[in-house]
Amino acid sequence: PQSQIEATSGIDPESGLAIDLNLMLVKGQCTACHSAKLITQNRFTREGWKDKIIWMQKTQNLWDLGESEPAILDYLAKHYAPEARASRRANLENVEWYKLNED
């Protein structure tokens, strides 16, 4: 079944979050208010995740995470950090351009 495949691939079948020692902490704190998809669709640095937590505390009534906050930030920075991706193909090199005839 799909849930067994996800569990063996390191993804929690219930939430879609990465399996890690801090998974239950993150699930308990973060998914109490919103879907885990709000985590998985974002990529931030540790500082970016900290800024997001501060924003949620200021505007969304997120509680003080207390001693849990460093572990939550460790988890988010480890599994949901920005990914290096090419935004476009490499430049063409050594191309001989020619003019099209308009016949």
Three-class secondary structure assignment of the chain:
CHHHHHHHCCECCCCCCECCCCHHHHHHHHCCCCCCHHHHCCCCCHHHHHHHHHHHHHHCCCCCCHHHHHHHHHHHHHHCCCCCCCCCCCCCCCCCCCCCCCC
pTM above 0.85, yes or no: no
Question: Residues 65-100: pLDDT tens digits?
Answer: 999 999 999 999 999 999 877 677 778 888 888 888
Question: Residues 35-56: pLDDT tens digits?
Answer: 999 999 999 999 999 999 999 9
Instruction: Name residue 18's beta-bridge partners.
Output: 11
Q: Tell me what the pLDDT averaged over the chain comes to.
A: 89
